[in-house]
A and B are shown apart, each in its own frame.
Chain A
C-alpha cells in the first residue's frame, strides 16, 4: 500500500469521487449546488474545476428527477453519483430509489444493472432541527435491491465510497455530517477498496461487544478507551455496511465476549440495531449470552432545535457507558 495521509472525512469522500472519476469516464456527479458552490457541506469543492460542468452537474431542486435520472443513466451505461443535500430529502426521491432503481434488475429478470451511488448526509447535531437531521438508513435496508453503507471514519469513507461507485447495484451511501470535519489517516492508494459487506473490529476486547456505526462510532471508541483503563475490555465492532451485513463478524464477537450492547443514532423503534439484535438472538451466539442484549438508540421523537434538547435526543457517552455497565453487572 502507498502512503497514508491525514485528512478529514469530507476530503476522503471527495478523494474517492475524484479518483473514481479519473479512473472511469462513465462516473459523474450530479446534485443540487455540487458545482461552483461545492455542495451544501463543501464536499465537492474544486471538483468542477478539474472535471468540468459536464461531469460535476448542478441540478435544479428536483430530487425525484435527479434520482430517477441517475437510475436511467445507470441502466444505460453510466455510473452516476447523486448527492442529495440532506438525507431527509430522500423522501422526495423515494419512488425513483425504492420502486425503480432497487427493483429494475429483479423485475426485468436479471437483465439490467443499475450502478448508481446516492450520497446523502444524515444525522443530527447541527442545530438544523426536524427536517434536516434524520437517520433514515433502516428504511433503505428494508428494500431488497439496495445496498446501504454508513462509514464512521475517513478511511472507511474513502474505501467504501470507491467500492460503492464500482458496485453494479444502487448504493445508498449515508455520510455523517457531524463527522465531515473529523480527521483520520487515509490510504492514498488508488485501489484501496473496502468491500461492501465487510465489517471491522475497531477495537479488540474480551468482556463485552459493542456494535455501532456512523456518528456513534467515535463516541463508543472514546468510552471504550476510558473503560479499558478501568479494567473493562470492550470490543467495538463496526459493520460499516448495513446491507450486505457482516453477520459473521458480529456473531463471532458476541460468542467471544458473551455480552452485547448495540448503539445507533436513529430512532429506536424500527432502527437497524433492532435487526442486529434479532440476528444475534437467532444465531448460535444466543447460547453464549450472559446478559440480555442492550439497545441504545435515539429517542422516538423528531429532532428538536434547542441544542440541549437536540443533544439529549441521541445516545451520549454517559449513556453508552451506563449501557455497557448494565450488561457488565449482570
Chain B
C-alpha cells in the first residue's frame, strides 16, 4: 500500500476536496434558485472520479458524464473557468454555452461531459482509435454510469473496441441507480463487470469509495491498455448522496441507505488512511480542506465578476 507517493495522495485528497466544495457550492446555488437549468452532483463519488483520472498520464483523454464534476476536477481543471461555466459566464470553459452537462477542455484531454446517457462511449472509442492509428501512446478513460450499460451504444462500443484492441478503459461508476431505477431492476446480473466477458475483455470490480484501490487499479489497467492489449471494463461501486438532479424527492431509496453510504465517505476514508499511515498530519489535511473551500469561494468571485456572453456570440461556433 505504500507504492503511491505522498505527493500523489495529497493531490488526490486536494482534488477530492475541491470536487466536494465545488458541488456543495453548486448545490447551495441550485437550492436557492440562484442558477439556471439543472445539475447532477457526484457528492459521495469523489474517489471514483478523481483517483481514476489521477492514475492517468496528463496527456491521456477522458470522456465525462452528466455527473462529471469530480471527473473533470480529477483530470485537472481551472476551477474558476469551471465555476464560470456553471454560472453561464463568457469566461467559462464553453463560453457559457454548455453549462454543467457539457464541461469540456478538448486541448487538455477532456473530450466533454455528456447530456446523453451512454453518448460519450462511442466518442471515447473513436478517440482511442486516433491514438492507435497515430501511435501516440495515449489512452482514453471513458466514464459512464450503471444505467448506460443498458444502452446499445455501450454494447456496440465495447465490442468495437475489443475487436480492434483499442486503448480505452471503460470506467463504470456504478452508483446503484439510473435516476430512480435500481440496478437490481434494470439488469438481470449483479456484477456489471461480468459484461466484459461477453466481449472477451477483462472486467474488474472495485470499491469506488476507496481512492487507493481506484488509483492502483486504474494505474495497472492503464499500463495493460497502453501496451496494446485492448480495452478493460472497470466497475467502480459507489453512491451518490444527493438526488439524481435538482428535482428529486428520492422516493426510490431509504434515508437509512443514504446514511449508510454517507458513513462510507470517500474523503474521510482517504483522510484516515493518510493519518494512520503517517502520510500527512491532521494540520496539513485541515489546511488542504480549508484551501479547497477558499478556492471555490474565489472561483465564485471570479465567475460573479465575469461578463455575460455577448449576444453576438449566440450564432457563433455553430460551424468551424
Tell me, yes or no, whether A72 is within 8 Å of chain B by CB. yes
Q: Is B182 an interface residue (CB 8 A)?
A: no
Contact of B153 among A59, A68, A108, A112 (CB under 8 A): A68
The residue in A59, A76, A110, A169 that gathers the most chain B C-beta atoms within 10 A of its C-beta is: A76
User: Quick check: is A141 within 8 A (CB to CB) of the other chain?
Assistant: no
Report which of B98, B126, B152, B159 forms a contact with A73, defined as CB distance below 8 A: B126
The answer to whether B317 touches A69, judged by C-beta atoms less than 8 angstroms apart, is no
Q: Tell me, rounded to whole Å, the shortest Cβ–Cβ distance linking A71 to chain B.
A: 6
Give 1 or 0 for each of B230-269: 1 = CB within 8 Å of chain A CB. Answer: 0000000000000000000000000000000000000000
Q: Please, how many angstroms separate the alpha-carbon atoms of A96 and B133 in the complex?
A: 21
- Are A76 and B127 within 8 A (Cβ)? yes
Task: Say whether, besides A65-B122, A95-B153, A109-B93, A78 and B116 are in contact (CB < 8 Å).
Answer: no
- The number of chain A residues with a CB under 8 A from chain B is 42
Q: Does any Cβ of B come within 8 Å of A67's Cβ?
A: yes
Of B21-29, B68-76, B99-107, B190-198, the stretch lying at the interface with chain A is B99-107
Q: Do B97 and A109 touch across chains, with their CB atoms under 8 A apart?
A: yes
Question: A108 contacts B104, CB within 8 Å?
Answer: yes
- A64 near B152 with CB under 8 A, answer yes
CB distance from B225 to the nearest CB of A (A): 16
Q: Is the CB of A72 within 8 A of B106?
A: no
* Contact digits for B63-97, partner A, Cβ 8 Å, 1 yes 0 no: 10000000000000000000000000000111111
Interface string of A63-92 (1 = CB under 8 A from B): 011111111111111101000000000000
Mask, A41-71, CB within 8 Å of B = 1, is 0000000000000100001101011111111
Q: Is B144 an interface residue (CB 8 A)?
A: no
| B316/A110 in contact, CB under 8 A | yes
CB pair B127 A95 closer than 8 Å: no
Q: Report how far A87 CA is from B235 CA in the complex, Å.
A: 36
A104 CB within 8 Å of chain B:
yes
- By the criterion CB–CB under 8 Å, are B94 and A107 in contact? yes
Output the least CB separation between A68 and chain B (Å): 2
A145-B319 contact in complex given A107-B94, A111-B106, C-beta closer than 8 Å:
yes
Give the nearest-CB partner of A72 in chain B: B126
Q: Is the pair B104, A72 in contact by a Cβ cutoff of 8 Å?
A: no
Q: How far is the CA of A69 from the CA of B125 in the complex (A)?
A: 5
Q: Which residue of B lies closest to A28 (CB)?
A: B133
Contacting residues, chain A, for B61 (C-beta < 8 A): 76
The distance from the CB of B66 to the nearest CB of chain A, in whole angstroms, is 12
Q: Does B178 contact A (CB under 8 A)?
A: no
Check: A252 CB closer than 8 A to any chain B CB. no
Asked if residues B318 and A145 are in contact (CB atoms below 8 Å), the reply is yes
The listed residue (A60, A71, A100, A108) touching B159 by CB distance below 8 A is: A60
**With A107-B112, A112-B112 given, can you name 16 additional A-B contacts, CB distance below 8 Å?**
A62-B156, A62-B157, A64-B156, A65-B156, A68-B153, A71-B122, A72-B128, A73-B130, A73-B133, A74-B126, A76-B130, A100-B114, A109-B96, A111-B105, A145-B318, A147-B319
B binding-site residues for A, Cβ under 8 Å: 61, 63, 92-98, 102, 104-107, 111-112, 114-116, 119, 121-131, 133-134, 152-153, 156-157, 159-160, 163, 316-320
A sample of 30 cross-chain residue pairs with beta-carbon separation below 8 angstroms, ordered by A number, consists of A60-B160, A60-B163, A62-B157, A64-B156, A65-B153, A69-B122, A69-B129, A69-B157, A71-B122, A71-B126, A72-B63, A73-B126, A75-B123, A76-B126, A77-B130, A78-B129, A99-B115, A100-B114, A100-B116, A100-B119, A100-B122, A104-B112, A105-B318, A107-B112, A108-B106, A109-B317, A110-B95, A112-B104, A112-B106, A169-B319
The 7 closest A-B pairs by CB, nearest first: A68-B122, A72-B126, A110-B317, A69-B126, A65-B156, A109-B95, A72-B123
